[in-house]
Structure 1
Amino acid sequence: MAASAVGAGMDMGKLAFPRGQIENWGDSGVVVTSLRTDTSTDVDADEGNQAVGASQQGAVVCLDSSAASREKTGEHKTLRRLAQNREAARKSRLRKKAYVQQLENSRLKLIQLEQELQRARQQGIFIAGGFLGDHSYPVGGNGAMAFDMEYARWLDEHQRQINELRSALNAHVGDDELRLHVDAVMTHYDEVFRLKSIGTKSDVFHMLSGMWTTPTERCFMWLGGFRSSELLKILANHLEPLTDQQLMGLCNLQLSSQQAEDALSQGMEALQQSLSDTLASASLGPSAGSDNVANYMGQMAIAMSKLGTLESFLRQADLLRQQTLHQMHRILTTRQAARALLAISDYFSRLRALSSLWLARPRD
């Protein structure tokens, strides 16, 4: 009964009073204990739910943080790769630019080296050749070497005179002053023909082959020099306007030069054929015997005498060139002659420059 009453009372207490008034039941330890147990269970549940929520929230935050970290790491790697690509491209451009510049520098150095080697060779020739101050050449190969040195000096002086002539013509100086420059250049041309005459006497084959000139000049060489008729054709466009008398004089000069060149060329062909026939003679066989030896020596003496006429051909060719220049000078006015001399010098300067560029060209 008592337990039933207590249970009924507890049920009534639960139903009749709010939770806050349960404390008035001070004598009922059971009720208090029961209520405390319920409250503790609710608190623990709430705390558990809060702990789970906090744990889940922490897990979400951790996942979000990990994803963000991975995303930042990926962006960092992408930016780093882009930066590396840009740096590699920049270095590649710099290497290409440096390579192109190196090629250009190499080309210029080759041209400069060729000029320095030629000067050094000429200076060495001067020391070894024992060149005399009176312009006489030693016999043998040193004579040809000495001519090369003298021609290089002549060429330097010629360029200096051409520069002065060009400056005077551009400055529109008077005819009297301009004539002095023109006459100086003409006199200097006479000097090179005198040097060539000495060089021919020393080594006719050296002068005939034109080894004292550049390879491109040798390509257009005829009997140790330029063709007068071809040179007059080049000057035609640089001398206008011409009077009818001047035009007729230049045409006749070109025709006579062409005829003289043809005659010399035919003479050289005849000489070559005669030498070939002499050297190919059956009497020059290797068989022994005093008669055969005497015959051999006789035939070689004939070939030597024929070969000696080469000097005459070269002298006549240079004389033709020299006379053509002087006759052209007489036909033209002072200013026309100045323009003609400049055109001739510019033409041969371009040939020499072409040789330098050809020798310095890149080779695969």
Structure 2
Amino acid sequence: MSFNRFYETWFDQLHHMVHQLTQARKPPTTQEYNHDLHQLVNTVTSHYAEYYRVKSLAAKNDVLSVFSAPWSTSLERSLHWIAGWRPTTAFHLIYTESSIFFESHVVDILRGLRTGDLGDLTPGQFHRVSELQCQTVQEENAITDELSDWQDGAGDLFRVCADLEEKMERLVVILEKADALRLKTIGRVVELLTPQQSVEFFIAAAHLQFGIRGWGTNQDLRRGNA
């Protein structure tokens, strides 16, 4: 199966999973239900892990195709950082969703009621989010520097063809590091959030992905008809 076909199937499955997350009852009131939410979160996390596993295989076969990402819209590609989403986007999403949830429950929160959602992050959670964001920025920058070094040596591709395979292998390694950081960031986020908050995070992340893809598809169709 080509990666294009795999991605179509994977994306459809993500839609189904988000529907399951949206239908999940919350807040949890029993230990058993906590377990059910935890299982849902693990299922979605595994779904992302499978995406990066197959993407790595595709990159080893044709890394330039993965960078060009023909399965993506022009808008999605314009937002890519090393053939995918920028890991620190996850933290910006948490801040945004936390603000939205907080505003929707501000009266209850001021009355001392706990909502248990992303608007109810504890000071400790906010501190951890901030720490992880700074750490992830540093890791992003290090990988970006590696790609910059690779690009600086692009002129060598035309002079020493014998090194072409080695250069492509290095590009695969850079891509795998970027994808590993993306997946690690998802894991870090899940660790610092409760199962309910993780569900809300995954829903928000998926809706952002669906929205960008939908808008990008419409723009590509308009340009194609122009």
SS at match of 1:213: coil
Which structure has the higher relative contact order (CA within 8 Å, separation 6+)? 2
Give the % identical residues: 26
**Which structure 2 residues correspond to residues 267-346 of structure 1 after superposition, within 5 A?**
267-276=146-155, 278-279=156-157, 284=159, 299-346=160-207
Q: Which residue of 2 aligns with 1:242?
A: 121
1:206 aligns to 2:65 (yes or no): yes
Contact 1:169–1:335 (8 Å) recurs in 2: no
| Cα deviation 1:305-341 (Å, max 9, x = unaligned) | 2232000000000000000001110000011000000
Is 1:229 matched with 2:88?
A: yes
- Cα 1:213–1:244 change in 2 (3 A) is same
Q: Distance in 2 between matches of 1:184 and 1:279?
A: 42
The Cα of 1:211 is off from its aligned counterpart by 2.0
Aligned partner letter, 1:216: L
Which ranges in structure 2 are unaligned for 5 or more consecutive residues? 98-117
Q: TM-score, normalised by structure 2?
A: 0.82
Q: CA deviation digits over 1:198-247, x for unaligned, max 9? A: 11111101111222222211110011110011232122122322112111
Mapped to 2, the partners of 1:217 and 1:202 lie a distance apart of: 22
- The residue type equivalent to 1:220 in the other structure is L
The normalised TM-score by structure 1 is 0.52
Once residues 163 and 59 of structure 2 are traced to their aligned partners in structure 1, the CA distance between those partners, rounded to angstroms, is 21
| 1:4-23 mapped onto 2 (5 Å cutoff) | none
State the shift of 1:279 in Å. 4.4
Any idea what the Cα deviations from partners look like across 1:238-257, whole Å, max 9, x if unmatched? 23221121111111111111
Q: Is the aligned partner of 1:219 residue 2:78?
A: yes
| Alignment partners' CA distance in 1, 2:27 and 2:16 | 17
Change (3 A) 1:186 1:199: same
Aligned to 2:54: 195
Question: Is the CA contact 1:275–1:303 (under 8 Å) kept in the aligned structure 2?
Answer: no
In structure 2, the partner of 1:260 is 139
The number of equivalent residue pairs is 202
Aligned residue for 1:240, secondary structure, equals: helix
Structure 1's unaligned 5+ residue stretches are 1-130, 132-145, 285-298
Relative distance call for 1:184 and 1:304 in structure 2 (3 A) is closer
Deviations 1:13-37 (A, max 9, x none): xxxxxxxxxxxxxxxxxxxxxxxxx
